[in-house]
Amino acid sequence: MTHIKDINLKFDKKEITTILGRFCSGKSTLLRINQFIRETSKGKIFLINEEIIRTNLIFVLKIGMVFQQFI
C-alpha cells in the first residue's frame, strides 16, 4: 500500500505549519520519514536544497513534531 507518492512541500522560515488529511492518508508516515523514525522505500528528502541523510541530521534538529499518540 502506497501512502505517499510524488510529494513536494515548501515551507517558509519561521512559519508554523500543520499537516491535515483523511484517516490513513500518510500524514504520520510523512513526519516519521522526515524524522528518520521510519525509512523511505525509495526517493530522497531534501531540506534547504541539501539531501538529508542519517550522517547529516543537523537539519532534522530544526524540525519539531508532536504525536497525537505516543509511539
The domain tally of the chain equals 1
46: three-class secondary structure by DSSP: strand
Q: Tell me whether residue 54 is in a domain.
A: yes
Q: How far apart are CA 64 and CA 17, in angstroms?
A: 10
14 lies in some domain: no
Task: Give the integer Cα–Cα distance in Å for 29 and 65.
Answer: 12
Spell out the residues 6+ positions from residue 70 whose beta carbon is closer than 8 angstroms to its own.
Answer: none
Please check whether residue 17 lies inside any domain of the structure. Answer: no
Q: Residue 10 domain-assigned?
A: no
Task: Tell whether 40 is covered by a domain.
Answer: yes
Spatial distance between the Cα atoms of 31 and 28, rounded to a whole number of angstroms:
5
Residue 42 lies in a domain: yes
* Residue 51 host element (H or E): strand 50-51
Is 16 inside any structural domain? no
Whole-structure pTM value: 0.51
Range of the domain at 43: 27-62
Give pLDDT tens digits along the chain (71 positions). 566 677 777 778 788 888 888 887 877 777 777 666 666 667 777 766 777 766 566 666 666 667 666 65
